[in-house]
Amino acid sequence: QVQLVESGGGLVEAGGSLGLSCAASGSIRSLHSMGWYRQAAGKQRELVAAITSGGVTNYADSVKGRFTVSRDSTKNTVYLQMSSLKPEDTAVYYCKIAVVTQFAGAMDYWGKGTLVTVSS
């Protein structure tokens, strides 16, 4: 089993900054891609940013230049630093990791989500 613990969500004013983190633990043999998705009310879940095990990053066009994804593989943790936040960034943010576990092979795991609210 793999557990994900997300932290860092909250309320911030437009133009402000907020950081999220997601730490994975459990029967992890190796970590592959790690990333963040978000789901706003009434909308589908969408990719925000992702980072491969080699450090290659990918961002949604809507967050390029404002958000930065990073990872610390020694801590099995992925981060999302968000700046110049806009009200349209309001959503529940979920981390997702692709791992090879000790007993179940390659699996994807999702965090429970953390709410980010940007006030205008």
Q: What is the DSSP string of 37-92?
A: EEE-TTS--EEEEEE-TT--EEE-GGGTTTEEEEEETTTTEEEEEE-S--GGG-EE
Residue 82 near residue 70 (C-beta atoms within 8 A) = no
Which phi and psi angles does 61 have, rounded to 5°?
A: -55, -35
pLDDT, tens digit (0-9, with 9 covering 90-100), for 7-54: 999 999 999 999 999 999 999 999 999 999 999 999 999 999 999 999
In this predicted structure, what is the pLDDT of residue 102? Answer: 84
Number of Cα atoms under 13 Å in the Cβ half of residue 119: 4
Q: What is the mean pLDDT of residues 57-72?
A: 98
Residue 69, pLDDT > 90, answer yes
